[in-house]
Amino acid sequence: MPNTHKPYRIIISGGGTGGHIYPAVAIANQIKAISPASEILFVGAKGRMEMTRVPEVGYKIVGLWISGLQRRLTLDNLSFPLKVLSSVRASHKIIKEFKPDAVVGVGGYASGPLLYAATAKGIPSLIQEQNSYAGITNKLLAKRVGKVCVAYENMEKFFPAEKLVLTGNPVRQDLLDVSEKRREALLHFGLTSEKKTILVIGGSLGARTINKSIASGLNKFAEGEYQLIWQTGKAFYSEAKELEQNYSDNGIRVFDFIKRMDLAYAAADVVVSRAGALSISELCLAAKPSILVPSPNVAEDHQTKNAMALVQQHAAILVRDADALQELVPAALQLVQDEQEQQRLAANIRKMARPNAASEIVNELLKLIK
């Protein structure tokens, strides 16, 4: 189909975690797919992971001097008003120089000042909320922007109903049809098709409770003739690597970070994961039977709310963080042995996938521009 779109100039702002950054990049990629000559500028927070991750995928980013409010009294909190003023001023300058047609906020510290400045100038603006519990920045901005794209139903309690569009979260397109990559995946990880495989992921930073729980039951996976792909994050990696040496012949594979997540999902019969919004969107797209262990260390316990949205549809199994040491390994072993339950969970989670999220969000953005 010929490209009929004129070139656009778009600013995408936000970050702080992979859960904000990867959807932002997916939106940028979709803009470039429909209008290759478009120019996209990312605006992030200095010192946060977006400042390295965004250039790695080929986009330009500028940083604002901004951070969040800590829950306890710190020097950072005392400088917070100054940071906000400085960042709003810097945002006005960025907007004046770049002259965007529209601005997208994905949540995280930098999106507040940037969208505040953009909406003050009347520039069409949209926010994308990944979680089932809205972040404070997005709640404050909702009154000022034209549209709010969300991944969950019943978000009227956070945002004006007339601005809401249910799009889902944009995720990597290589997660579509992972079932076709199973042979390649098993080869990639040095595993066999004769045994069932469990994938354990704790998010880009790792998850201490999940790691401790898996470590304590490693012998049970090995004795039961199950294979394990275990992403530990950096902090637990060396400890897990030592344990792996006892079981390397038994198909236990340990990584601090997995680049080819499409192959990790393709190899897996069952997935154990945190319940971040992005992780859940990926699990829906990959249609994998999953055990979710929500992190208790997030604002308003939003990971539990994310997980419950699936559990209520019988699309995932919940193990609470406080119960994981006792319950996680038995739950994983029980699920990997129960093919009927795996099929039921996979069928239900597949219904919740929204593979066209990025294109739906960009369509909303173009409507605002027009």
Sequence-distant (6+) residues with CB within 8 A of 234 are 205, 206, 256, 257
| Residue 273 known to bind ligand | no
How far apart are the C-alpha atoms of 85 and 256, rounded to whole Å? 38
Residue 280 is labelled as binding a ligand: no
Determine whether the annotation assigns residue 204 to a binding site.
Answer: yes
Taking the C-alpha atoms of 178, 241, 303 and 131 in order, what is their torsion angle to the nearest 10 degrees?
-50
Mapped onto helix, strand or coil, the DSSP state of residue 14 is coil
- The secondary element (H helix, E strand) that includes residue 188 is helix 182-189
Is 105 assigned a ligand-binding role in the annotation? no
Q: Two tokens at 360?
A: 């739906």
Q: How far is CA 227 from CA 64, 104, 253, 269, 346, in A?
A: 44, 42, 8, 10, 20
- CB 309, CB 132: distance < 8 Å: yes
- Rounded-to-5 percentages of helix, strand, coil across the chain: 50, 15, 35
Distance CA 14, CA 44 (A): 5
304: annotated binding-site residue? no
Nearest to residue 120, comparing CAs of 138, 98, 143?
143
What's the CA gap between 317 and 331, in Å, rounded?
A: 9
342 is in an annotated binding site: no
Q: Can you read off the two tokens belonging to residue 170? A: 């944009």
Q: How far apart are CA 165 and CA 368, in angstroms?
A: 13
How many other C-beta atoms are found inside a 10 Å radius of the C-beta of residue 84? 17
* 112 in a known ligand binding site: no
Is 34 within any annotated ligand binding site? no
Binding site listing for UDP-N-acetyl-alpha-D-glucosamine: 17-19, 131, 172, 204, 258, 303
The binding site consists of 17-19, 131, 172, 204, 258, 303
